[in-house]
A and B are shown apart, each in its own frame.
Chain A
Amino acid sequence: MRKIVLPLSLITLALLAGCGSQPPAPEQDGAGVESRSPSAVTTPGVTPVIAGQPSGTDLAALKDPKSPLSKRSIYFDLDSYIVKDEYQSLLGHHAQFLGKNGQMKMLIQGNADERGSREYNLALGQKRAEAVKKALMLLGVKEAQLESVSLGEEKPACIESTESCWAQNRRGDMLYSGEF
């Protein structure tokens, strides 16, 4: 059986507030995340807005399976750190989101399959993360919003020694503020 474990549970999105270097987000922003439609909130109250913070709608899109923004992984060929053309449209959606939400930051984690040198795989993961970062910058994203790191072969999403599993691990993951 193939088991894919997402690097961070989507539940973590609900814990958006206070993580990373972001200022604590208001609780209300979590509403959409708890999969209540924002429009259903009828309790009278004040929803504080911090300029530049993504709206609940935008955040919901990040985890809505129907939104391309919910897709966060770029897969690579063996030994390669070239972003394949098939990911251009996905990267375009993320570039657009980051452009619209200037306060949002993205951490790109590069990964490698388990075979070969751990240190080389750490470097390969870094190159993969860098390649995703560069592709997003070419699409207009500001460098300040992006950070690339490598996990090498240390945090495999799939732990079997099969080609399909290794292919899942040759991967760059895009995580948004609050998810890392």
Chain B
Amino acid sequence: MKKLISCLASGILLASIATASLAQLSIEITGAGTQRLPIAIADFAGERVISQALTSVIRSDLERSGRFQLVDPGAAPMNESTAPNFIDWKSRGADALAAGSLTGTPDGRYETRFRLYDTQKQAAIAGQALTHTSNQLRTTAHRIADTIYEKLTGERGIFSTRIAYVVKSAGRYELQIADADGNGAQSALASREPIISPAWSPDGGKLAYVSFEAKKPIIYVHDLATGRRHVAANFKGSNSAPAWSPDGRKLAVVLTKDGGSQLYLVNVDGSGVTRLASSSGIDTEPQFSPDGEFIYFTSDRGGSPQIYRQPVAGGAAQRVTFDGSYNVTPRLSPDGKTLAFVTRDGGRFRVAVMDLATRQVQVLTDTAKDESPSFAPNGRMILFATEVGGRGVLAAVSVDGRVKQRLSVQAADVREPAWGPFSK
């Protein structure tokens, strides 16, 4: 099924939220999961324009995940207090049902309530009440979608998380932050020189990235809320590929101060640089394992670029990838069990995953210029950059390769995606 979800669908109300000058990412679903739970989301009751916008965001979130099949809720009005006719909902094919309402409060804010029902058990299984402003409508909808997703799948939802990526238009690079559905893009940094390798701090408050604004690659750490940033590594030569330690105190980085590209550890404030690994070739793209024990990285020490891992505390490097002559950009799933990377097969660069226990590799995509894979914080989807029709776009694929989405910005190249952590 192909469905285009226009990000402008939510109406006039949202125009005030989004920065008008920023082109929005639009999402196209190009593949869906095989086992999808049928769910009906009744139109939330309340002030029509606003409640409809809310309902549509909840529906798009759930549908985009590839794990739900939306069932037509019909036109009969209902809210969280309406007793559902479970027999009727079951006959319509809905295993789950959500209904709610949105009401204005005297102080100009809103209160949104909803209930989630299991039509088989004929019982309410979750409920929530949230107060918010009109500017927080999408955030509220994402929170509700997260609750529904978690209750029905047993995993945390990622609809309230954020993504970072770089948009390149003529002579301009912009580091942007958007909701996981591509909406509400905000510019964190604009530059005439390239920006690459954004990496979220574990608390989601900061980004480390590489900017060429001083005519050479320098690593900055940028506090998103305040816009304050500092240089984390600016040594002779190039400074790149920052990766946060799980405790958020250190960065693994690549420096060329002692010759070729080599791995170092540095405190987030830029102090205390120490060598992490050493080879006569290229070592780059460090990434901590979620337990902080290992550094995964790309190295050509064996003659071609392959993925290796090495204990952070010291010890020998072990080679992890063996098939093919080009396996790069290691990214660990949040549970540490799966490795995503980019593999070259013929002239095609595609996202693959390796089950670290069995070493089984599965190529997930059928595109040809994939780069920068990044796991969703629940480990379900992998966001990556690729090229479609000569233009850089972001795409997402589920770890089983079944669910596929594409996010693009009109008339610009989008690249270097990084999926942020769960919000606290």
Contacts and interface: CB of A to CB of B under 8 A. Distances in A.
Interface string B281-324: 11111000000000000101000110000000000000000000
A119 B254 contact: yes
A89 interface: no
A1 B196 CA distance: 29
Contacts of A118: 196-197, 371-372, 416
B212 A120 contact: no
Interface in A138-156: 148-150, 152, 154-155
Interface band, chain A: 20 to 34
A168 interface: no
A111 interface: no
A106 interface: no
A155 B259 CA distance: 22
B217 interface: yes
B238 interface: yes
A122 B216 contact: no
A130 interface: yes
Contacts of A155: 194
B34 to A, nearest CB: 32
Interface in A101-134: 115-120, 122-124, 126-127, 130
A117 B369 contact: no
Nearest to A116: B349
B167 interface: no
B256 A117 contact: no
Given A126-B256, A150-B238, A116 B285 contact: no
Contact of A154 (B194, B305, B372): B194
Contacts of A123: 240, 254, 260-261, 282-284
Contact of A122 (B217, B304, B305): B217
Given A120-B329, A149-B216, A126 B196 contact: no
A116 B304 CA distance: 13
Contacts of B285: 117, 119-120
A120 B216 contact: no
B390 A117 contact: no
Contact of B328 (A120, A148, A149, A152): A120
B344 interface: yes
B349 A120 contact: no
Nearest to B197: A119
A117 B371 contact: yes
Given A115-B349, A149-B216, A149-B238, A122 B298 contact: no
Contact of A126 (B261, B304, B342, B349): B261
A79 B305 contact: yes
B21 to A, nearest CB: 24
Given A123-B282, A126-B238, A149-B238, A116 B371 contact: yes
Contacts of A124: 282
B298 A126 contact: no
Contacts of A117: 285, 298, 328-329, 342, 371-372
Interface string B362-377: 0000000101100000
A120 B237 contact: no
Interface string A72-84: 0000000100000
| Interface hub of A79, A116, A122, A124 (most chain B Cβ within 10 A) | A122
A114 to B, nearest CB: 8
Contacts of A79: 300, 304-305, 325-326
A149 B212 contact: no
B329 A126 contact: no
B241 interface: yes
A161 interface: yes
Contacts of B256: 126, 150
29 contacts: A79-B326, A115-B347, A116-B344, A116-B349, A117-B285, A117-B371, A119-B197, A120-B282, A120-B285, A120-B298, A120-B329, A122-B217, A122-B261, A122-B284, A123-B260, A123-B261, A124-B282, A126-B261, A126-B282, A127-B282, A130-B259, A149-B238, A150-B217, A150-B238, A150-B256, A152-B196, A154-B194, A154-B196, A161-B390
Given A116-B342, A119-B284, A124-B282, 18 more contacts: A115-B369, A116-B328, A116-B349, A117-B328, A119-B197, A119-B298, A119-B329, A120-B298, A120-B329, A122-B196, A123-B254, A123-B283, A123-B284, A130-B259, A152-B196, A152-B217, A154-B196, A161-B390
Leading 3 A-B pairs by shortest Cβ distance: A123-B261, A154-B194, A117-B328
Interface of A: 79, 115-120, 122-124, 126-127, 130, 148-150, 152, 154-155, 161
